Structure 1
């Protein structure tokens, strides 16, 4: 590498200057260092989720966030009655009172009109303490015995909880909600409020997620100067599992590819073909039961899931066949309105997402695990027994 290449990269590089400008742009939350303190995040959330807050978004942020969390596939086992989601869609939550640190819980929201209590334990940096979530749930039950209770465990990546009573939520869910509401209802409020919420969105993205504009700039720099700088390699070499997927398909003749993007690969099995109804761009490419590999918080994830059926009775009949094959299916999964039932998921760490060989090997590891093979074979048995 010539010294002139390094000098040209450092001196008068417009794109590099843009990155520096982005990282150093004014944000009042940076000055207050809110990103480093959970209590300050919880204070902002208490304001945003309060229907009577002076942001003038009424209940829109709260309700959209709740519906997003309740409908997540990860929370399928927690939602006891899917009809409650439809009820909440039309529920008036304007009487909600928001409490900070009530019973030592980060956020407690109470609607006497609806007989509803929502409480959120926010763990953006720290871990949950021993039996903490169970204690909080018991305290709320004791103090609101006749209320519907929605407990939410909010973390950066929506991690699992020690208590099966909690809905999992991530800051991505929160970001998507805030961005949607600000973009579509900004005329309801002042420019100052829009700026405040936008600053908060930016600080979360910058601190814990990758800003898309910054990502594009880094990638441009990598492409143009890849022989000069290696430390932006992980940005320039964005996750793309295509090469690994090609190897995987060649190895497994039973694989029926459905769809593929940079970080996800959906596929069916030839053993599932008898159940396939259509090849249009529907869920699972027409397979009522489908598999996919995906990037999940820097890990590789394998999922097997039953999707929507046109006939709800046929879906329940298939779930019953899965049970007969020895796959555990919750009774909640058979309730009217249920569309998705996850029957298997597993993850494995990836050290280098730029190494297609490592990704392929980890795909093989997940696909050849004994517990997955057992579940897959039981699913095939259920497909064979079902009249399609």
Structure 2
């Protein structure tokens, strides 16, 4: 115990890495001061500004076009438009009007020239009221009866599957990718103040979606050098680890998977737990780029305020052609229709996701029971793995 005491003391005394982490977490960011990351309404205000071609960001309709094009890559059961991605990218949306909180809809975009209405339900942490999405669709169709194209979007941190068959699923992670692309390609032509403002918002999205690579790397370095001290602080300084991880570990043997416990490259936090079935390891290529998994295809559980999600994603394979082939073969050849493009970006594609309600996150047994139902009944984990393994073997991935 004395040795452990010395390790903890050494960890907090003149620890340069810890000081760097503290400095990183306390960097000035106006969005942090305004607590934007904690409030949907403020995220919606920022998105409303970016989506409006008439605003002073001087990007015109660039962000709106890029976001709409990415949204249309997704799949829905009922489509209320005849738009093609090429129509969006080659056309113009400069006449678009953006409304905030119109009839309680977070964001509504209307383009008369394109006979187009886009409605966005933006959910960061809050839950969804019953029939909320249906009500918004009905309201829009009543207000714009002659509009030919209606695109409803369900926007969440991880691109959760929309609980309505007419809504596209989209994620803040995809918005982060779009903004990074815009800054990279157009920074030379942007006003410096606008570029800095967008960079601050990018940092906020990185923290929200846990995509801040510098912060992740710094945390990994600290953990590598002070593993025992950190584990002692967690053991003696907190009541318990998250119920998500406790519930996962109760079912880990049944899952027969590899996760953070065996390979630290699989991401772990109070909100997400990444893993891969051992039976699929050899069939799935490893990644050279950083992701939340060392493998190109992985599962993860994601905890929200009142829901638990199980998601299967294809990650950022550097060989774009190979990635496209893998994705096409999975989507086109799955006989049981387990897989479809739920959400998409340049770095990841969600191909299956299911969710279940959680009444009490403090009750680990309840969370574990709901997790088991989600796995077996809603997601059909064993059957999906069997189908996935067959597809991977037959296509020599």
Instruction: Calculate the TM-score normalised by the size of structure 1.
Output: 0.67
Q: How does 1:243-262 map to 2 (within 5 A)?
A: 247-248=278-279, 257-261=283-287
Larger Rg: 1
DSSP 3-state at the match of 1:165: coil
| Structure 2 equivalent of residue 270 of structure 1 | none
- The equivalent position to 1:238 in structure 2, one of 255, 264, 287, is 264
Q: Is 1:211 matched with 2:212?
A: yes
| Structure 1 equivalent of residue 271 of structure 2 | none
Alpha carbons of 1:213 and 1:5: their partners in 2 closer, same or farther (altered >3 Å)? same
| Structure 2 equivalent of residue 356 of structure 1 | none
Q: How does 1:80-229 map to 2 (within 5 A)?
A: 84-147=84-147, 148-229=149-230
CA offset digits 1:357-387 (Å, max 9, x no partner)? xxxxx9xx87xx9785499579979x99xxx
Contact 1:76 1:341 in 2 (8 A): no
CA distance in 2, matches of 1:105, 1:209: 27
CA distance in 2, matches of 1:377, 1:225: 42
Alpha carbons of 1:135 and 1:301: their partners in 2 closer, same or farther (altered >3 Å)? closer
Q: Which runs of 5+ in 2 are unaligned?
A: 236-240, 242-259, 268-274, 304-308, 315-324, 342-348, 357-371
Q: Is 1:295 matched with 2:300?
A: yes
Q: May I ask how many residue pairs the two structures share in their alignment?
A: 314
DSSP 3-state at the match of 2:219: helix
CA distance in 1, matches of 2:313, 2:125: 27
Contact 2:44 2:122 in 1 (8 A): yes
Q: Is 1:68 matched with 2:94?
A: no
Alpha carbons of 1:15 and 1:145: their partners in 2 closer, same or farther (altered >3 Å)? same
Alpha carbons of 1:264 and 1:26: their partners in 2 closer, same or farther (altered >3 Å)? closer
Contact 2:80 2:166 in 1 (8 A): no
CA distance in 2, matches of 1:165, 1:347: 18
Alpha carbons of 1:329 and 1:306: their partners in 2 closer, same or farther (altered >3 Å)? farther
CA distance in 1, matches of 2:337, 2:194: 48
CA distance in 2, matches of 1:374, 1:296: 16
Instruction: Calculate the TM-score normalised by the size of structure 2.
Output: 0.66
DSSP 3-state at the match of 1:260: coil
Q: Which runs of 5+ in 1 are unaligned?
A: 250-254, 267-291, 310-314, 333-339, 349-361
Root-mean-square deviation over aligned CA pairs: 4.3
Alpha carbons of 1:50 and 1:222: their partners in 2 closer, same or farther (altered >3 Å)? same
Contact 1:154 1:171 in 2 (8 A): yes
